Homo-oligomer: A and B are copies of this chain.
Amino acid sequence: MNSGADLEKYLHDKIPLTVAMGVRVAECDDTHLILTAPLAPNRNHLGTAFGGSLHSLATLSGYSLLWWLLRAPDAHIVIRQSEIRYEKAVTGELRAFCRAPDADELAGFRRDFARKGKARLSLSAMIEQDGVLAVQFRGVFVAVAAKK
């Protein structure tokens, strides 16, 4: 996978809910990843963003960034657990920002993956609304090397 467009296509091909949600890859590099989704298909009964959509977008941001950083397209990445706090209603576009772990943590993750074929990493994501933190997310992801 060489670009955000490739990543977006992969998400849409493999995870149909990302199509229903209208998930787009807005930014993607080795330092961070941003996913967006329009409000309309993700609204709730109050006309604000549905908590399940916010969680899904945050999960996808962590999942996608890890995949991007791992450089192993055949690896299986799954989420083991997560916590989310909804601080403020999201009333416009959903925008999840996931920052890459620091260099040491990422090096440890890559080393474990290379040696053991399995590695675990905790990633944080946040969703802002008008510059104010609206959602805080933390997830533990596990990558497993594809069997040969």
At the interface, yes or no: A53 with Cβ under 8 Å from chain B?
A: yes
The digit string for A49-62, where 1 denotes a CB below 8 A from any CB of B, is 01111011101100
> Is A148 in the interface zone, CB < 8 Å from B?
no
Number of copies of this chain in the oligomer?
2
A53 nearest CB across to chain B (Å): 6
Q: Of B20, B55, B60, which contacts A20 at CB under 8 A? A: B20
Is A83 in contact with chain B by the CB < 8 A criterion? Answer: yes
Chain A stretch 43-99: residues in CB contact (< 8 A) with chain B: 43-46, 50-53, 55-57, 59-60, 63, 76, 78-86, 89
- Is the CB–CB distance between A42 and B55 below 8 Å? no
* Interface membership of A133, Cβ < 8 A: no
